[in-house]
Structure 1
């Protein structure tokens, strides 16, 4: 399940993507339009800025804007930035792998095998859907 942070992050990015390309969008405009707490949205956009998804400009005409073409921003990337692993178990995560404390062997674990399939199927969608797809 997506966290509220990721859901709001995606909604904010979709809103920004739908605006004129060269025009930064005020955080208050995004918050009001998408019904997101301004303070919570500031934290979300800061995470996205730190990870090179959005940039910001201060002062008159300032706001947030995309640093990349929306076609280059994949859903999997945003979810990983805001939520962490996509995999449901740490032992099947591609980017955040950790051995499960209670599992003697991943090779014989039937839960591991099914969770790899779940991860792979989710990634097949999330890595091929971009911000552009969401903003249409």
Structure 2
């Protein structure tokens, strides 16, 4: 399940993707436009900056902006930066695998095998969609993506 932190992070990143290249905006403005608590958003944007997706400037003309074009930032990378691995259970994770205490055979565990497929489907969707794609949903007459799963 997507946490509130990742949801707010996605909303803020979409907001920032609407800025003209090279322009920045203040956290408080992003928070107001998206109904996100400013203190929480400060922490979220800091994590996204540390992950290399945002840059920030201090001062009167400061604020946050995307570190690279929205077309080059995947939704999966944003979610991973804020929520960690996409796998629904630790034993199905590629980057943070942890075996279950109650599992006798990871190669035959039906729960794990199903969750590997779930992880792969989630990853496929989120890693194939860019921030620009997400921004454009609901704009320019686009209402959704057509998925072929």
TM-score range, shorter chain: over 0.9
Name the residue aligned to 2:104: 104
Separation (CA, whole Å) in 1 of partners of 2:22 and 2:81 = 24
Separation (CA, whole Å) in 2 of partners of 1:101 and 1:72 = 39
Name the residue aligned to 1:25: 25
Name the residue aligned to 1:87: 87
| Offset, 1:80 | 0.8
Name the residue aligned to 1:65: 65
RMSD over aligned Cα atoms: 0.8
Q: Which whole-Å deviations, capped at 9, do the CAs of 1:33-59 have from their partners, x for residues lacking one?
A: 000010000000010111101010001
- The gaps in structure 1 that reach 5 residues or longer are none
| Offset, 1:19 | 1.2
| Offset, 1:69 | 1.2
- The gaps in structure 2 that reach 5 residues or longer are 137-149
Q: How many residues get paired?
A: 136
Q: Provide TM-score, normalisation by structure 1.
A: 0.97
Separation (CA, whole Å) in 1 of partners of 2:101 and 2:71 = 39
Separation (CA, whole Å) in 2 of partners of 1:19 and 1:72 = 15
Name the residue aligned to 1:37: 37
Name the residue aligned to 2:147: none
Separation (CA, whole Å) in 1 of partners of 2:124 and 2:26 = 34
